[in-house]
Structures are given as C-alpha cells and as structure tokens.
Amino acid sequence: MVAVVRVLTAFGLVVASPLAASAAAGPVPGTVVGSDGAAKPRSGAKDRLLFHFKDPRISESSGLAVSPTHKDVIYTHNDSGAGPQFYAVGPDGGTLAVFTLAGAAARDWEAMAASVDPATGQGVLWFADIGDNLNGAWPDYSIYKVTEPKTMRDATLEATRYRFRYKDGGRNAEGIMVHPATGRLYVVSKEFAGSIYAAPVKLRTDKVNILRRVGPAPIMATDAAYAPDGSSFVIRTYFSASLYRAPGELIGRVSMPSLRQAESIAYTRDGKSLLTGSEGANSPVYSVPLPASAAAGTTPSAPPRNGVAPSRVAGVPDASHATAGDGDGGVPAGVIALWLAVALGATGIIAAIARRVS
C-alpha cells in the first residue's frame, strides 16, 4: 500500500495519503478506546516529541527498541535497501554508534526487539528480515539475534541467524516481539486479516523453525512490542496502537500522534509510555503516555500457559473467527474501502502509463 501511495504522489495524483486523510477514523487524541468501544481520556497525558533522528543515514527507520541495559539509548535500523546495520541513538536524536552484523543479510528488515538473557543479565537484540511484499515470494525468513554491545562505539558484531517458515504459508510481516520472562519470539503479520505467530520455545539454527498462528492482529500491523513485565503487548498500525493482555484478549486502543508513515513502536523501560516513530529523513520519535490501568511494571511476570491466554474480553473475536475490521483494533470499513479505491486507481494509472511508454 505504501508503494501505491508513493506512485500516486509521484505523479501528483494524491495530495494527502489515505493514511492522513483517514486519521479521524482512529481514536481521538489523548484517549484510550476500551474493548467496549468507549473512549476514555488519558488523565493528564500528553504526547511528547522526544527528538528527530539527526543522522542522514537513518532515512527509513523501520524498527525501534529501547536498550534494556544502557540508560537513554534507543536503537533503530533502516528498511529494505540498507545493509545489515543498526544505530544507537541518544536522547537528542544524535547517533552514538553504528553496528554491523557480521555475515547477515538485509533483504527487507522490518522490525527489531530487545530483551534480557535471564541467565546472564545481558541485553539481547533481535532483527527481523521478515518483509515480503509479494506475500510468500521467499522460501523462508530470517531473524538475527545479537548480544547487546557493552560500549557505544562503532563495531561489527557476531549474530546468530534463525530461519523461519509459517505453518500456513508465506506472508508479509513487519512486527516482532519477545516475551521478557520466557524469551519466546512472536511475529505479527501485516495483512487485512493479520495474525500473531509464535515461534518454537527453543529456536534451532540447524533447521527451519515453524511459526504457528496463535491469535488475530489488527489490520495492516506495522510493529509490535511486549511490555517490560510481560503483562501486555502492543501492536501498532498506521492509525493507532492496540493493547492486549494475550493474543485475542484486547485491552483497548491508544491514540497515536499523526505521522507520515507510522512504522515502529516500543515500550519505555518503566513500561509507562510507548515510543513510536516513522520512516523518512529526519523522522520524529514520540513518547505516548499510557493510562495507569494499562501501564506495565518492570519486573517480568509469568506468562499464561503456552503464552496464550485461555480466555478473552467479551466482544473481542478469538483467533478462529478473526476478520478484517473485528474489534481487535482493526480499521473501520470506510478506511478499508478508501485503501481499496486507491489501490484500484493506482493499478489503472500504472497500466495507462505502461501502455503509453510501450
């Protein structure tokens, strides 16, 4: 969809993207929409611009993670077209260090996550090469695991590569998250009827790991993250963020600041706010406070059995009945229609241009 919007914009056929045009369809700024659909004000909460990325090399920030061991350090990486590198950024948006993953490829890096190894207390960073705009073009997908650098100095790091395949067929994805207590990895697909997939409890490097669906995800999810205590997780879309207790168990939706192309989300270390960012040169990162009822703690708690809650909030569809636009934080039907109209229009325009130049 982003590619379609870019094509239309390039030919002067779109003044504002459908993402911006439909911003009013999401939650009202400063509110949390509960699973019952009622909007509740975030008491005293104000979204705050933290910084703009100052480094011109950070031109397509697609993943975001807060360092679990270094104070005031945020990590990011670029989207497809860049090398296997990530950036450590300070509280003013300036680059502290650039790290390269040895032997890694960057076919279409779309997300990252941070966790702590419970055995060593060391930080762990995960980088997901899971983008697939053709929804199944690649035979498998890769996620790289690397020990967090101890010093903020440019370096090349050794990474462990894990290969993945979806049990129900290939798809495009832009979100990963890691449970802080178990270290279990989850992938969130980017589709009109998205899904959450769980990786095996123990990952293998000598074989392809199979991702299995455990619940629904909002329409066109662009990122995801677990709270520091594992009590909840968040899934970002172009329009808002959806909070969950477990797959299929919605807490509510949180309004997000208006961004050109919302791509990333992460929890702060204290679990009281969300950080969200966008692609583009000099792109911003915002802090969005959570209401007290949804804020997380910092001590990892035990997850539900098998990482999946046995119950769900009334009115929220379970994994077997998830459809586009369900009450799982999806997008209103009018917005879907707008997307489809833009996509069909773009197809006709591209075909017309192709006929003219042929």
| Higher-confidence position of 197 and 304 | 197
Sheet hosting strand 95-102, strand order edge to edge? 61-66, 74-78, 85-89, 95-102, 155-158
Say if 320 falls within a structural domain: yes
**What confidence tens digit (pLDDT) does each residue in 318-342 have?**
333 333 344 445 554 455 555 556 5
Say if 278 falls within a structural domain: yes
Say if 349 falls within a structural domain: no
Which residues lie closer than 8 Å to 68 by C-beta, 6 or more apart?
114, 115, 116, 123, 124, 148, 269
- What share of the chain in percent tops pLDDT 70? 71
- Per-residue confidence (pLDDT) for residue 335, from 0 to 100: 53
| 305, 228 Cβ separation under 8 angstroms | no
Please give the Cα distance from 190 to 200 (Å, whole number): 21
Say if 12 falls within a structural domain: no
Say if 224 falls within a structural domain: yes
Which residues lie closer than 8 Å to 354 by C-beta, 6 or more apart?
none
- Per-residue confidence (pLDDT) for residue 77, from 0 to 100: 97
Q: Among 109-118, 263-272, 296-305, 349-358, which stretch is predicted with the lowest mean pLDDT? A: 349-358
pTM score: 0.79
Say if 293 falls within a structural domain: yes
Say if 51 falls within a structural domain: yes
Overall domain count for the chain = 1
Domain region containing 199:
23-331
The domain that contains 181 carries what CATH number?
A: 2.120.10
- What share of the chain in percent tops pLDDT 90? 65
Closest CA to 114 of 79, 81, 153, 70: 70
| 224, 242 Cβ separation under 8 angstroms | no
100: confidence class by pLDDT, cuts 50, 70, 90: very high
Q: Among 22-26, 115-119, 236-240, which stretch is predicted with the lowest mean pLDDT? A: 22-26
- For residue 279, the 8-state DSSP code is -
**What confidence tens digit (pLDDT) does each residue in 151-205 have?**
999 999 999 999 999 999 999 999 999 999 999 999 999 999 999 999 999 999 9
Mean pLDDT of 82-88: 94
Radius of gyration of the chain (CA): 19
- Per-residue confidence (pLDDT) for residue 298, from 0 to 100: 74
